Amino acid sequence: MARLVVLGGGVSGHTAATFAAKWLGSAHEVVVVTPNAKWNWIPSNIWVGVGQMSKEEVTFDLAPVYAKAGITYKQAKALSLNPEGNATSNKPFVTVEFTAAGKEGTTENIEYDYIINATGPKLNFGATPGLGEGSNLGEHTVSVCTADHAVHASHELEKCIQKMKKGERQKFLIGTGHGMCTCQGAAFEYIFNIEHELNRAGVRDMADIKWISNESFLGDFGVGGLHMKTMGYAVSSKIFAESLFTERGVDWIIGAHVNKVESGKAHYELLDGTMGEEEFNFSMLIPPFAGVGLKAFDKAGEDITATVFAPNGFMKVDANYAAGAYENWKASDWPKTYQNPTYSNMFACGIAFAPPHPISKPMSSPNGTPINPTPPRTGMPSGIIGKAVAHSICDRILKGENAPLHEASMANMGAACVASAGKGLFNGTAAAMTIYPVVPDFEKYPGTGRDTDYTFGEIGLAGHWIKHILHHLFIWKAKLKAGWTLIPE
């Protein structure tokens, strides 16, 4: 019997574990190690953050789902990997620390034949003074990165709405809280949901809403922007984004590295080296992401973390980490199999793998401060990669250790993104966007780097309905309800 251990039960790890359990059957064991008792459909946290959904609607208990799937579930967080075993055993193992009530703090070494690191991001609030400590959100801003954060954000938003109803003008500052953030899409969706909610509450005219981000142009989204086909033109996402911001009366600051947050004030440095500050009554700033801080040790107990992980804490995979300057970047730099180059039974998927380099053009201020988005690994790529990695491992377990690995490069993969504004079925609209491929391939698609037949975007009710359907479909799928395998990632 072989054992596959999946670290992280989020979008990517849950997909990998559930497919692996289905493909391997009861002859082999799938273990999931994840610290939370609940699964969270993170994209819908946006609606929780404006009070349009409850935490319960975007989360569910993992234990019954894993019991149904025959998956061994450990409510714990991984601390370190010993891919060569230790002095007494050659068997690789992972050390985990339990987080479940009653077992907190106890540790266990779990041996494995294959391991998937799908631990997602550490929400690195601590990288910006005043934004938080370590992975904990501070007191000056709100977040929608977890369901609990989003509940808190909705309460703070409600307080502002009440103040505006009493005639007190409020300033909203939404965006990224550091020069090296990703996930601009989430902040983009949140700012327009807030704008929609303020309209609905009849207080829009009492609010000044401003965007602040590390993008060098509006609409970069961490993918270097994209061109969408419309009315016979391939139009840059910059034009669309600026148009939407203008239409909704939302001002913007771009090329900004937020370097300090205080009560009611964010300090920032711009790409041209100038410093500025922005006051706010309500602010949601996405933190930068890092790896969750797993360590690795060899058989002798020597620290080999730098061999297994990149300096940002994400796991090294089959990417070209030596591409150098952006002029040399190629679509083929991006990983295909997500196998660790040192240990062939170790894989990483979703946000946990180390990308070879950004997608957006790297930039820095004259003071040397890097200010550019880091590459996003959104839900669809995270799910597809998780499934491909599970497929590879299952083949190796069932067909032999030389079975070819499955490939899922982000340079051959699209992503569908739907950014809603509002939740009502007939009054909410959404910007629905697809991008193909996520990583531009300028050799295959000279000029825009993307296939403009499949890279498109538009605003309307249709996208909004799709967002609603996706919410229910993905939760249905994650709960492994009837037909779950038919729902694409």
Partner 1 sequence: MAGKKEEANIKAYSQNFTTMTPGPFAKKMRTCVIFQIIRFIIINLKMLVVVSKSH
Report the phi/psi class of residue 111: left, alpha or beta, with left for phi > 0 and alpha for psi in -120 to 50.
Answer: beta
Q: Does 12 bind ligand FAD (CB under 6 A)?
A: yes
Which position among 3, 4, 10, 224 is part of the footprint of ligand FAD (CB under 6 A)? 10
CA atoms within 13 A on the CB side of 314: 25
Contact (CB, 8 A) for 86 and 321: no
Torsion of CA 342, 347, 353, 356, to 10 degrees: 50
Minimum CB separation of residue 24 from ligand FAD in Å reads 20
How far, in Å, CA of 362 to CA of 375, rounded?
11
Cβ 371 vs Cβ 363: under 8 Å = yes
The mark string for 275-314 relative to partner 1 (x by CB under 8 A, - otherwise) is ----------------------------------------
- Do residues 28 and 70 lie in contact, with contact meaning Cβ atoms separated by under 8 Å? no
Interaction partner, residue 164 (partner 1, ligand FAD, none; CB < 5-8 Å by kind): none
**Cα–Cα distance, 92 to 103 (Å, whole number):** 24
Closer residue to ligand FAD (CB): 36 or 344: 36
With CA atoms as reference, report the closest residue to 193 among 181, 204, 180. Answer: 204
Task: Kindly calculate the radius of gyration of the chain based on its CA atoms and give it in whole angstroms.
Answer: 22
Return the residue of 70, 276, 366, 488 that touches partner 1, per CB under 8 A. 488
Count the Cβ atoms, other than its own, within 10 Å of residue 131.
28
- Helical packing angle, 62-69 and 11-24, nearest 10°: 20
Using CB under 6 A, pick the residue from 116, 137, 145, 258 that binds ligand FAD. 145
Q: Measured on CA atoms in the order 58, 415, 21, 473, is the torsion positive or negative?
A: positive
Pick 104 or 401: Cβ nearer ligand FAD = 104
Q: What does the per-residue mask of binding to ligand FAD show for 451-480, with x meaning CB under 6 A?
A: ------------------------------
* Contact letters for partner 1, residues 344-383 (x by CB under 8 A): ------------------------------------x---
8 near ligand FAD, rule: CB under 6 A: yes
When asked if residue 46 is in the footprint of ligand FAD (CB under 6 A), the reply is yes
The single residue among 33, 116, 173, 432 that binds partner 1, judged by CB under 8 A, is 432
- 266: Cβ–Cβ under 8 A, 6 or more apart, which residues? 173, 177, 212, 258, 260, 277, 278, 280, 283, 285
User: Are 147 and 40 a contacting pair, CB within 8 Å?
Assistant: yes
Residue 395 interacts with partner 1 (CB under 8 A)? no
Residue 101 interface partner, choices partner 1, ligand FAD, none, CB cut-off 5-8 Å depending on type: none
Interface pattern 328-367 for ligand FAD (x via CB under 6 A): ----------------------xxx---------------
**How far apart are the C-alpha atoms of 32 and 118, rounded to whole Å?**
10
What gap in Å lies between CA 329 and CA 255, rounded to an integer? Answer: 22
What the block records as the tokens of 238 is 């910059």
CB of 243 to ligand FAD, least distance (A): 21
Q: Which of 2, 22, 36, 100 binds ligand FAD (CB under 6 A)?
A: 36
Interface stretch with ligand FAD, choices 5-13, 83-91, 106-114, 229-237 (CB under 6 A): 5-13
Which residues 192-251 are close enough to bind partner 1 by CB under 8 A? 239, 242-243, 245-249, 251
Which residues bind to partner 1, rule: CB under 8 A?
A: 239, 242-243, 245-249, 251-252, 380, 384, 387, 408, 412-416, 426-427, 429, 432, 434, 436, 454, 456, 458-463, 465-466, 488-489
Which residues bind to ligand FAD, rule: CB under 6 A?
A: 7-13, 33-36, 42-43, 45-46, 77-78, 118-120, 144-145, 183, 186, 292, 350-352, 377-380, 382, 417
